Chain A
Amino acid sequence: MRWGMVIDVRKCVGCQTCTIACHEENALPPGIFWRHVVDVEVGDYPDVRRAFLPMGCQHCAEPPCVPVCPTGASQQRQDGIVFVQYDMCIGCGYCAVACPYRARHMIHEQDWYFSTPTPSEEKAREPERHGVMSKCTFCKHRVDKAPAGATPGVDPEYTPVCVSSCIANAMHFGDLDDPNSNVSKLREAHQPGVLLEELNLKPSLFYITE
C-alpha cells in the first residue's frame, strides 16, 4: 500500500479551500501552511490560461528529508506517509533545507490567531508541536481511523481534509499500489506528471495537466 494523490489541474479553480481546511484541521499557527495553491500563467499569447496547483509535501518514495534527520524524527511509514515524530525532533532544520519542494515548516512558538485558541485550534492543538519541524501528514489521523470497510479517498471522513473539502473535485486520494483505486484509474487514464521528476524522488503527488 502506498498512499498518494492525483490532482486534476484542469479542475482546480484556485479557491484555496484546501489551504484553509488543512490549516483549520491541523490547527496550524498563523503563517504556516502545509497546503497552498500556486497560481501560474500557462501558455503563450493568445493561448494563455491561469492554472492553479495545490502544493505541499509530495510524500516522496525516496524522501530526501528522512535520511538527513540526525535523530530519526523524520520518518516514512510503510504506506509511504512521511511525517515528523515531534517528540524526537530537535528542530535542527536539516530536513527543511533538504526538501526541494519546501514543504517543511518550523513552528517556532505556539501561536494562535487570537490571544487564546479558538475552539477548533483547541481541538486540534498538539502541545509538543512547537520548536520542532512540521509538515503535511496526509491527515494520517483521519486515514488511520478508517474502520474495516471504509476506504480513505472514498469516504470523506477518512480522507485528507484538503481532498474531501475540494469544491471542484480536483483532488483525489487513494492507494497507488491498488490498481482498482480511484487514483490508479486516474493515473492510467491521464498519465499525470510529477514535479521535479529529474530529481528521481518518486513523489506521491501526481498532476493531471491536460
Chain B
Amino acid sequence: MSGPVPTTRPPAGPPRAIELMPAVLQHEWDLYHATWFTLMGVGGGIFLLARLLRLERGLGVWLGLPVVDLVSFAVISAGGLLLIWSLGRPLRFLRAVLKPGTSWISRGAIADFIFVALGGALILPGLALGGATSFARLPWDPWASTTLGRVIEGVALAAAAIVIVYAGLVLADKAAVTFWRSWAIPAQFVFSSLAMSMATVMLMQTLDGTPIESLECWLLAKFLALLLAVIAWHVVTRRTQPGKAEALARLHTVYGGLFWGVVITAGTVLPMLLAVLAALVPPTRDALGVAALLLTVAGGFLLRLLTLRVGYFPPVSGVLRVPKR
C-alpha cells in the first residue's frame, strides 16, 4: 500500500446493497436424490421409448409379461423405495401425494403410483403362472391391441412422461438455488433420461439377439446432441447471476474433472459419436448397446449429482446505511 491516507471524505453516494450472508451450498439433497432422479428418469424412459417404438414384443417375455416393461417397473420401484428408505418415514411418505396443486414432489409421486398401477394393469392379462392365465379374460392385452388397452397404455405413457420430467421441475420450479431455476434443468434431465433409456433398450436388444435399428442409433445421438446443447446453453448464459456464478465456478474447478471428463466427454460426446458410427456401420451396434449404457448412465448420474452439489443459495443482500451515533 502506498500514498497518503485520504483525509477528506469522498462525496456520499447512493447507499449500496451489501452482502449480509454469503452464497452457501445447499446440503439437503445429495447422493440419494441424484440416484432417485436417475432411476426415475431411466425407468420412465424405458417404458416410454419401448412402447412408442413398439419394441416391447421383441425384447423378451417372462411369465407372459414383456420383460422391458418389467425392467421399467423395477427401476422405478427401486428409485421410489430408495427415496422412501433414505427419508426413513415409509408410512408418512404416503402423505407425499397430498399437495399436487403446488408441489412437484406430490405430482411426481402421484405420477409414479399411476404409472406403476396402470402399467402393471396393462400387462397383467399376459401373466402366466404354471400355465394358468387367470387374468386373460380382462378386456385388454399387454400389447395394447384393444381400445381399452390403448387407453390404459396412453395414460401410463403420460404418467411415464411426468415421471421423467418431474425431477427436473422439482429443482427448477420453486427452489431458491439460482443454478436450478432454469428450464434447462428439466430439459437436461429429460434428454439425459431418454438417452440412458435408449441405451438400456439397445442393450436389452443385444442380450435378446434382436437387431438394433438405425432409427434407435439416430435417436440416441439426437438425445445426446440436445443434452449437450442444453448444458452448453445453461453454463454460458446468466453467468454472473448471484448464486449461479458461484455454482459455475465450483463446477469448473472442484468438479471440473468429473464435469468435463465424465459428464461432457465420456457421458455425452463419446456415446453420441458412437451412436452415429453405429447408425452408419450396423455391425458395431451390439457393442454400442453395451458402451452407450455404461457411458450414458455414468454421465447422467453425475450430471444430476453435480447439479445438486453446485447448488448455491444466492447471497442475502440488503441496503444498510451507516447508523448515526
Residues of A that sit less than 8 Å from B by CB: 9-10, 38, 40-49, 51, 53, 55, 64, 67-73, 87-94, 96-102, 106, 131, 193, 195-196, 207, 209-210
Contacts and interface: CB of A to CB of B under 8 A. Distances in A.
Nearest to A94: B105
Contacts of A207: 318
Interface in B2-47: 6, 9-10, 18-21, 24, 26, 28-29
Contacts of B320: 9, 40, 42, 51, 209
Given A106-B28, A196-B318, A207-B318, 18 more contacts: A10-B323, A10-B324, A42-B322, A42-B323, A55-B20, A70-B98, A70-B99, A70-B106, A71-B92, A71-B98, A71-B99, A90-B89, A90-B92, A96-B28, A101-B316, A131-B87, A193-B318, A195-B316
A93 B29 contact: yes
Contacts of B324: 10, 210
Contacts of A67: 99, 102-103, 174
21 contacts: A40-B18, A40-B20, A42-B323, A49-B322, A68-B104, A69-B99, A69-B103, A70-B96, A70-B98, A70-B105, A71-B96, A72-B98, A88-B92, A88-B95, A90-B92, A90-B96, A93-B29, A94-B103, A102-B176, A131-B89, A196-B318
A160 B120 CA distance: 53
B313 interface: yes
7 A-B pairs with the lowest CB-CB distances in the bound complex, closest first: A93-B28, A67-B102, A70-B105, A71-B95, A100-B176, A43-B322, A70-B106
B207 interface: no
A19 to B, nearest CB: 15
A97 B29 contact: yes
A72 B105 CA distance: 12
B311 interface: yes
B92 A97 contact: no
A158 B108 CA distance: 42
B314 interface: yes
A92 B105 contact: yes
Contacts of A43: 321-322
Contact of B319 (A55, A88, A102, A193): A193
A38 B95 CA distance: 37
B61 interface: no
Nearest to A91: B87
A37 to B, nearest CB: 11
Contacts of B95: 70-73, 88, 90
Contacts of A48: 322
User: Which of A10, A45, A70, A93 has the most chain B CB atoms closer than 10 A to its own CB?
Assistant: A70
Contact of A196 (B24, B103, B316): B316
A16 to B, nearest CB: 16
A108 B104 CA distance: 23
Contacts of A69: 99, 103
A88 B87 CA distance: 13
A209 B321 contact: yes
B131 interface: no
B176 A68 contact: no
Contacts of A196: 316-318
A53 B20 contact: yes
A188 to B, nearest CB: 19
Given A53-B20, A90-B87, A102-B21, A68 B321 contact: no
A76 to B, nearest CB: 12
Given A38-B21, A53-B20, A72 B99 contact: yes
Contact of A92 (B87, B175, B319, B323): B87
A174 to B, nearest CB: 22
A106 B29 CA distance: 11
Interface string B79-111: 000000001110011011111001111100100
B170 interface: yes
Contact of A90 (B18, B93, B174): B93
Contacts of B20: 38, 40, 53, 55, 195
Contacts of A49: 322-323
Contacts of B105: 68, 70, 92, 94
B323 A51 contact: yes
Interface in B285-325: 311, 313-314, 316-324
B195 interface: no
B166 to A, nearest CB: 11
Contacts of B48: none
A131 B322 contact: no
A9 to B, nearest CB: 7
B224 interface: no
Nearest to B29: A93
Among B19, B89, B109, B317, chain A packs the most CB atoms within 10 A around the CB of: B89
B177 interface: yes
Nearest to A104: B28
